[in-house]
Amino acid sequence: MAQFNITEAKAHFSALVQRALMGEEVIIARDNKPILRLVPVKDARQPRQPGSARGQVWIAEDFDETPKDLKEYL
């Protein structure tokens, strides 16, 4: 783990980005106190997995019924 103060990080930003992309943990600090971690962004788009939500979604038995307190307005 490498820690750099903001001034150092600004001066060597490209090198720090390269180190983070290579898998090294890069910490940015203010007054020698860590405030953030520089990490690569993972690809958010993953191939769809059909059926991946099976068993997690359900519909109540009375889903299509009009609520009792609204029947007088219809």
Is there a contact between 45 and 23 (Cβ–Cβ < 8 Å)?
Answer: no
Say what the pTM is: 0.55
More confident residue, 71 or 23: 23
Report the DSSP beta bridge partners of residue 37. 27
Residue 46's SS3 state is coil
Is there a contact between 16 and 3 (Cβ–Cβ < 8 Å)?
Answer: no
User: pLDDT tens for residues 18-45?
Assistant: 999 998 999 999 999 999 999 888 766 7
Q: What is 2-38's CATH number, 3.40.720.10, 3.30.2020.30, 3.30.365.10, 3.40.1620.10?
A: 3.40.1620.10
Phi and psi of 29, rounded to 5°?
-125, 155
pLDDT at 43: 66
**Is 58 a residue whose pLDDT tops 90?**
no
Task: Report which residue type is found at 16.
Answer: L
pLDDT at 47: 83
Is there a contact between 37 and 20 (Cβ–Cβ < 8 Å)?
Answer: no
pLDDT at 35: 96
What is the residue extent of each domain of the chain?
2-38
